[in-house]
């Protein structure tokens, strides 16, 4: 009976494969795909597989330098916009408000791949009730932990679903006369500010389009400053808030650890005398090349035992241009999905990444060996877990992408750089460095930032209505 069942299963798999192959052969068209030039080496092998799978799609890959805005403006002026743009990491609202982007709602409706994309990854690309992009590669903010130092100090490794109290406890326990709790604690305050539903980092309610610095951010900044007040805990603080020093000068860091690495934010973690560092997946390559002790990623801690693991993410986006020719829309949609949300595209990409030797480089840089897919399709989830380079901590982070919140507002809030100008950054950094009263700063930010948010959303929506 078991042999018969396996035979039927193999037949079913073969039939599905043949159906998928037949469907791919039916897709025809010419598609120009724009790709950031710095990412071409990563994506090119994935596109090679697409061309094998879709032999009747003529794919032209067009690398571009710099940010997408100037590139798209130049292409629009010349009347040569690409059909699809992959891997955009810059301000997306510019392309949307200028009418360059085609809404995807009709194409995504009922699409089997789209059904496995968490809604939290789609919400940021919804403007005026329409979906203008899909998420492609995800980066997550995490905690990098020196596992050798845990053993050396005879500490218990924290759970992957640890709490903020456990986080504080192990930081303090790792602060000794020869070690430090943290190399850096960047963004801890911002991450804490976005733990509630409907919030992005820092302290932004995306439903209300309003920042809550006093109500949400202040708790995080107060904890950050409490930790930095513990002598020897945070090396960034010991380095006079990360400021470089000249030869012959001294600060708390040099007095305790000497001059080596005095102007390097991560030296203490690279050399193994700091327990942890707040970091992100886009730093994984240089860290595996330069960090000497054994280390692993942990998710950010939960606020309490009752809380869920919340994952702060930076997401690149893929979208289709409004100028794509009707006869090429179906092919362009297959290209768009292949490099972003499709099961088959992600499985191909994950196979390519996992097969790479750890030391392999492209143009002098290490290749990525893993990434966080934007889909939670069961086959992709299983493939992610099988990657030999993926640790238990990374599995936990990926499993909780459904609880993610955006930590890269510059990509998705209109006029972000006009809202967060030098004045705002001076206030934020003053509170973080302890040179300004945090509660006073929070109240000022509530007034300044929220008035600008209203203005920028109004200007964006007026231009969106005009051009779409």
Specify the DSSP class assigned to residue 367. Answer: P
Confidence of residue 21 (pLDDT cuts 50, 70, 90): low
- On whether both 84 and 203 belong to a single domain, the answer is no
Q: Is residue 3 part of a domain?
A: no
- On whether both 168 and 263 belong to a single domain, the answer is yes
- On whether both 321 and 305 belong to a single domain, the answer is no
CB neighbour class for 272 (10 Å; exposed up to 12, middle 13-18, buried from 19): middle
Tally of domains in the chain: 2
Q: Is residue 430 part of a domain?
A: yes
pLDDT at position 25 = 78
Span 392-417, average pLDDT: 97
Q: Is residue 14 part of a domain?
A: no
* Res. 11: pLDDT tops 70: no
- The CA distance from 359 to 372, in Å, is 20
Question: pTM for this structure?
Answer: 0.93
Single out the residue of 310, 365, 390 nearest to residue 120, CA to CA: 310
Q: Which of 385, 404, 423 is the last residue of a domain?
A: 404
* Res. 23: pLDDT tops 80: no
Per residue in 65-123, pLDDT tens? 999 999 999 999 999 999 999 999 999 999 999 999 999 999 999 999 999 999 999 99
Q: Is residue 10 part of a domain?
A: no
Take residue 27 and report the two structure tokens written for it.
């897709």
Q: Is residue 465 part of a domain?
A: no
Per residue in 193-204, pLDDT tens? 999 999 999 999
The answer for residues whose C-beta is within 8 angstroms of residue 436's C-beta and 6 or more apart is 427, 430
Query: How large a percentage of the chain has pLDDT more than 70?
Result: 95
* Res. 31: pLDDT tops 90: yes
pLDDT at position 12 = 40
Query: Which residues form the domain of 303?
Result: 140-312+413-454
- On whether both 192 and 230 belong to a single domain, the answer is yes
Confidence of residue 363 (pLDDT cuts 50, 70, 90): confident
Instruction: Write down the mean pLDDT value for the chain.
Output: 94
pLDDT at position 3 = 47
Q: Is residue 17 part of a domain?
A: no
- On whether both 144 and 217 belong to a single domain, the answer is yes
pLDDT at position 444 = 98
Helix (H) or strand (E) holding 123: none
CB neighbour class for 221 (10 Å; exposed up to 12, middle 13-18, buried from 19): buried
* Res. 132: pLDDT tops 70: yes
- On whether both 126 and 160 belong to a single domain, the answer is no
- On whether both 375 and 265 belong to a single domain, the answer is no
- The CA distance from 240 to 234, in Å, is 10
Q: Which of 404, 421, 439 is the last residue of a domain?
A: 404
* Res. 308: pLDDT tops 70: yes
Residue 78 has phi, psi (to 5 degrees) of: -85, -5
pLDDT at position 371 = 96
- On whether both 173 and 288 belong to a single domain, the answer is yes
pLDDT at position 2 = 41
- On whether both 70 and 58 belong to a single domain, the answer is yes
- On whether both 223 and 340 belong to a single domain, the answer is no
- On whether both 275 and 229 belong to a single domain, the answer is yes
- On whether both 268 and 360 belong to a single domain, the answer is no
Q: Is residue 462 part of a domain?
A: no
CATH of the domain at 364: 3.40.190.10
Per residue in 178-236, pLDDT tens? 999 999 999 999 999 999 999 999 999 999 999 999 999 999 999 999 999 999 999 99
Q: Is residue 387 part of a domain?
A: yes
Span 417-438, average pLDDT: 97
């Amino acid at each position: 009976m078991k042999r018969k069942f396996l035979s039927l299963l193999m037949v079913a798999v073969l039939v599905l494969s043949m159906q998928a192959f037949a469907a791919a052969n039916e897709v025809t068209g010419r598609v120009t795909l724009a790709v950031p030039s710095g990412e071409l080496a990563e994506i090119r092998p994935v596109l090679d597989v697409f061309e094998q799978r879709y032999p009747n799609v003529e794919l032209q890959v067009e690398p571009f330098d710099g940010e997408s805005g100037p590139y798209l403006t130049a292409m629009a002026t010349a009347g040569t916009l690409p059909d699809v743009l992959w891997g955009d990491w810059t301000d997306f609202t510019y392309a949307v408000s200028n009418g360059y982007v085609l809404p995807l709602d009709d194409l995504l409706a009922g699409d089997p791949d789209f059904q496995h994309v968490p809604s939290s990854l789609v919400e940021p690309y919804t403007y005026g009730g329409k979906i203008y992009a899909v998420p492609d590669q995800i980066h997550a903010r995490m905690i990098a932990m020196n596992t050798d130092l845990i053993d050396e100090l005879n500490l218990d490794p924290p759970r992957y679903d640890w709490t903020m109290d456990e986080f504080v406890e192990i930081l303090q326990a790792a602060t000794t006369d020869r070690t430090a709790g943290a190399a850096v604690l960047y963004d801890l305050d911002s991450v804490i500010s976005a733990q509630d539903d409907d919030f992005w980092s820092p302290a932004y309610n995306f439903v209300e389009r309003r920042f809550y610095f006093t109500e949400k951010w202040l708790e995080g900044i107060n904890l950050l400053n409490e930790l930095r007040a513990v002598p020897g805990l945070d090396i960034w603080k010991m380095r006079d808030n990360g400021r470089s020093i000249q030869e012959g000068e001294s600060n708390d860091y040099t007095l305790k650890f000497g001059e080596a690495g005095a102007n390097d934010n991560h030296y203490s973690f690279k050399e193994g005398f700091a327990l942890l560092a707040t970091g992100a997946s886009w730093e994984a390559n240089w860290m595996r090349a330069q960090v000497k002790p054994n280390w692993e990623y942990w998710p950010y801690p939960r606020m309490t035992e009752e809380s869920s693991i919340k994952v702060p993410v930076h997401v690149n986006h893929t979208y289709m241009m409004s100028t794509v020719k009707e006869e090429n829309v179906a092919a362009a949609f297959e290209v768009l999905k292949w490099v972003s949300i499709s099961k088959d595209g992600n499985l191909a990409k994950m196979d390519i990444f996992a097969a790479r030797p750890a030391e392999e480089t492209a143009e002098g840089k290490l290749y990525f060996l893993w990434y966080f897919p934007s889909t939670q399709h069961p086959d992709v989830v299983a493939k992610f877990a099988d990657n030999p380079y993926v640790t238990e901590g990374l599995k936990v982070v990926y499993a909780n992408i459904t609880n993610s919140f955006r930590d890269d507002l510059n990509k998705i809030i209109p006029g972000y750089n006009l809202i967060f100008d030098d004045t705002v950054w001076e206030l934020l950094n003053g509170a973080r460095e302890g040179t300004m009263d945090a509660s006073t700063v929070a109240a000022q930010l509530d007034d300044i930032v929220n008035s600008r948010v209203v203005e920028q959303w109004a200007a964006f929506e007026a231009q969106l209505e005009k051009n779409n």
